[in-house]
Structure 1
Amino acid sequence: MRKDYTFISESVTEGHPDKLCDQISDAIVDHFLMQDPCALVRAECAVSSAILFIGAHFATSAKVDLPHVARKVIKRIGYDQPDFNSKTCSILTAPQGRPPEKKALFDEHALTEAEIDRITSGEQGTVFGFACDQTSVLMPLPIVLAHKLAYSLTGARTNRDLPYLMPDGKVQIGVEFKNGRPSGIHSIAVTASQRDVESPPQKRLRDDIVERVIGPSFEDEEIKPSSRTKLFINPDGVFTGGPSHHSGLTGRKNAVDTYGNFSRHSGNALSGKGPMRIDRIGAYAARYAAKNVVAAGLATDCEVALSYSIGITQPVSLQVETFGTGKYSNEDLGEIVRRNFDFRLAGILRHFNLRHLPTAYPEGFYQRIAAYGHFGRTDIDLPWEKTDKAEILKGDL
C-alpha cells in the first residue's frame, strides 16, 4: 500500500448544476415511489442557461407533475436570480410512461427465499463498496472533509451569514498521509459563486470564507489546517456560477457521490434510478458489507466488488480486497461476506426497505442523498450505513 502521499478529493454544493440535476431526478423517483412503491422509474435531467430538460421513463399507474417537482427543487436550493429561477425557467419534458410491469409487482417482505431467488437483475454491471478506518463513519478522510466544507459553504448562504453567495460552489481538499494514515491538511480550495461581480472584494471574500466556512468545518476535527496549509479562495477570480454559466447533467459526479476517488466506483450514476435498478442498490449493498468488515476489525481498508448479469439472481462475481490490511486472506473474507450478506435484488430491497423509504421522508429520501454523498452520512438514517453485522462477522471465523 502507499505510505506517504497527498490525496485530494472534491465536493460540490447542492446548487452546482450537476447536483441540481441529480436532486431533481431523485425527487422524481421519490414522488413516484410515494404513490406506488412498485413503480419502475428512470429520470435524467440536463440544464443549461434558463432551460431544464427532463427525460423520464416509468412503468406505473402513478401520476407525477414533472415540471412542478423540478420547480420545487430549484426554489428550495435557492435559485431566484433573473437569469435562472423556479418561476421563469423553461422546462422541457419527454415522459415515456407505460403500465405497471408484472416483474415489479411483488411484496419483498412477503416473499419466500425461493421466490426471492426467482427475481433476477434486469441490468448488468460491476459495483463497488468501500470502507476504511480513517474516520468514525468509516469513510476516507478527504471526501468526508470535502463534504463538510461544501455543506458549510451552503449553510453560510442559507443562514444569511454570507448573503452575497449564490447556490453554486465547489471545494477541494488535500490531505497528507504518512505511513498510510492522515497526518495533515495540505491544501484547501473553495470556489464560491457571488450574486454581484463587484461585491464583495476578493480580500473580504477570502476572510469571510476562512472565518465562516473553513473554521467551523474543522472545529471538531483532530487534523486541522496549519500555517503550512495552502488556501485558495476563488483562485480564478470572481465566480458567478449556476446553470446560466455552466451546464449540468444527472450522474456526472460519481466520485463526489461515493468515495472521492480514494477507492473505485462504478461508472454508472446512482441518482435518477428507482430501487429496482441493481446498479444503484448493489452499490449500497457493497458499501454495507465493506463497512461491516471494517467495523468488525477484520481489515482497516476493505473494498467489495459485485458483478451482476442480466437474468441472474446472485452476483456472478464477488470479490473482497483489503489491500494488505486484512486479518485473513481476501478469499476467506470473501466467503465470510458471501455467507452473511444477501446480494440478490429482492433481498437488498427487503433488507433496506428501499421501495418504501420515500413514504417515511415526506421531504424526499433519495433527493436528500443526491447532494453531499450517498455514504458516510450522519444527518439521515441510511440503512446501508449500519454496522449491525460486525459482531456476526467476528463470530464467523
Structure 2
Amino acid sequence: MSLENYLFTSESVSEGHPDKVCDQISDAVVDYILAREPEARTAIETAATTNKVVLMGEVKISEDSAVTPEEICAVARDTIRKIGYAQKGFHFRTCSIDSYIHEQSADIAQGVDAAENKDEGAGDQGIMFGYATDETPELMPAPILYAHRILRLMAEARHSGAAPLLQPDAKSQVTMEYRGGVPVRADTIVVSTQHTARDAAGAELTSDAVREIVTPFVQAALPEGFIDARTVWHVNPTGRFVIGGPDGDAGLTGRKIIVDTYGGAAPHGGGAFSGKDPTKVDRSAAYAARYLAKNVVAAGLAKRCLIQLSYAIGVAEPLAVYVDTNGTAEVDPAKIEKAIRESMSLTPRGIRTHLGLNRPIYQRTAAYGHFGRAPEADGGFAWERTDLAEALKAAV
C-alpha cells in the first residue's frame, strides 16, 4: 500500500549556479552546432572555476559546417554574459575560456550510423525514465515544480532590474506536506541567493533584508493557501552569500540531474542530458519517456505513470519498455504498455522525428528543469505536448 501522508522535499538551482552555468554552456554549443548541421553529433562537457572555463568532448560534423575553437569559446562567453556574470571572480569579458573539443570516435560513430543492413542505432547503452503525476496542472511533482518557479521568478526580476540586489547564483528547496497522497501545503521553504554586499544606501545586506526581497517571489510561486503560519522559512541561513557562481564553487556539466528531472520523486537513468545531441538516448529517450508518461496521465488512464526504456549501443529498438502506474491505472497496465509501443517509434530516429529534436532548442532546457515547461512554437519542449492522449485512450 502506498504511503498517503508524508513530507517530500525537492531542490532547484538557478541559472547562475556553477553546475548550471556549465550545463547552459554545453547546450549553447549544442544549439550552435545543430543550427549549422541538424544531423551533427555532439558530446560537450564544460568545467568552470574562478575566471576559468574549459570545454571538452567530441563532435561529428561535415567539413563544410565545421566550427572553430574560437567560435565555441565565443558561444561560451556570450552564455556567461546572458546569465549575468560580470563579477571580479567570474566575468564574461575577462574569464579565460579554452576548448579541447575534438572529432567523435570512429568506433562510436560506426555503431550509431545507419548502414545498408541496419537502422541507426542508439548512441549508448543505458536506462531512461519518464514520469507524470496529476498532482499539478503541469503533471509534475509539486515540490520540484514550485522550487523551479521560485528561482525563475527571482531570475526574471534580476534580469529586468526589478531586483537589483540579487545576483545570479541561487538555490531553493520546497518540502511539501501530502495528505491522502495529495500536496496540501508547504511545510518548509529554503532559499539561498547570492546578493550584493550592500544595498543602495550603502548598508550591509542582512539575511532579514534578503528575506524581504525573496518573500514575494516565493508567495507568487506557490498556490494560494500553501504557505501558512506553520510554514518554516530558511532564507540565506549562513547569513551571507556574496561570493557565488564558479568563483565560489567549481561547476561541471551533468551534476544536477535530479534537479533536471523530477526532484527525486521518480528515478533517473544513468546519464545527464546537457551537451548531448538527440542521437544520445540519455537525452532523447528520457524526453520520449516523459512524453509518453504525460500523455498516459493526460488521457486519464492513470493518476501516476512511470516509464522506463532501455537501449544497447548501436541497436535501434529499445530492449524493454516498462510501465508502472503505482496502482492508479484505470485499465490493465499491460494494455497501456502495448498502446505505448504502438503509438510511436521508440528507435532513436523515430523519437527524433516524432518530437522534432534535430534543432537548436536545448540551451533553454538547461536551467529550471527539462520537464513541466510549456511547449513552444519553434519545437522547444515538444515532449511536453499531450497530443497523443486521444490515440492512447482509443488504443486501450
Same-fold status (TM-score > 0.5): yes
- Choose which of 81, 96, 99 in structure 2 pairs with 1:93: 99
Identify the range of structure 1 (90-99 vs 179-188) with the bigger mean alpha-carbon deviation.
Answer: 90-99
Give the match's secondary structure for 1:72. helix
Give the match's secondary structure for 1:294. helix
The answer to whether 1:52 aligns with 2:53 is yes
Q: Are 1:308 and 1:315, in contact at CA under 8 Å, matched by a contact in 2? A: yes
Letter in 2 for 1:249: L
Give the match's secondary structure for 2:16. coil
Q: What's 2:364 paired with?
A: 368
Distance 2:117 2:191 in 1: 47
Q: Are 1:15 and 1:168, in contact at CA under 8 Å, matched by a contact in 2? A: yes
Q: What's 1:260 paired with?
A: 263
Q: What's 1:229 paired with?
A: 231
Q: Are 2:196 and 2:205, in contact at CA under 8 Å, matched by a contact in 1? A: no
The answer to whether 1:312 aligns with 2:318 is no
Q: For residues 194-224 of structure 1, what are the alpha-carbon distances to aligned partners after superposition, in whole Å with 9 as ceiling and x for unaligned?
A: 121773222221112113x212223xx2552
Distance 1:387 1:323 in 2: 21
Q: Are 1:289 and 1:341, in contact at CA under 8 Å, matched by a contact in 2? A: no
TM-score of the pair, normalised by structure 1: 0.91
Q: Give the ranges of 4+ consecutive aligned residues of structure 1 lying more than 4 Å apart after TM superposition.
A: 98-106, 114-117
Give the match's secondary structure for 1:41. strand
Give the match's secondary structure for 1:129. strand
Matches within 5 A, 1:67-216: 67-97=73-103, 118-196=119-197, 199-211=204-216, 213-216=217-220
Q: Are 2:16 and 2:245, in contact at CA under 8 Å, matched by a contact in 1? A: yes
Distance 1:351 1:115 in 2: 23
**Relative to 1, partners in 2 of residues 1:164 and 1:117: Cα closer, same or farther, differing over 3 Å?**
same
Letter in 1 for 2:275: G
Letter in 2 for 1:367: Q
- Choose which of 326, 343, 346 in structure 2 pairs with 1:323: 326
- Percent identical across equivalent pairs? 40
**Gaps (5+ residues) in structure 1?**
107-113, 359-364
Q: What's 1:394 paired with?
A: 393
TM-score of the pair, normalised by structure 2: 0.91
After TM superposition, give the deviation of residue 49 of structure 1 in Å: 1.3
Distance 2:393 2:99 in 1: 51
Q: What's 1:22 paired with?
A: 23
Aligned residues: 380
Give the match's secondary structure for 2:247. coil
Letter in 2 for 1:389: L
Q: For residues 176-205 of structure 1, what are the alpha-carbon distances to aligned partners after superposition, in whole Å with 9 as ceiling and x for unaligned?
A: 100101111111110010121773222221
Distance 1:103 1:255 in 2: 29
Give the match's secondary structure for 1:243. helix
Distance 2:255 2:375 in 1: 23
**Gaps (5+ residues) in structure 2?**
none
Distance 1:286 1:134 in 2: 19
- RMSD of the alignment, in Å? 2.0
Distance 1:98 1:264 in 2: 30
Q: What's 1:361 paired with?
A: none
Q: Are 2:177 and 2:185, in contact at CA under 8 Å, matched by a contact in 1? A: yes
Distance 1:334 1:70 in 2: 42
Distance 2:129 2:121 in 1: 19
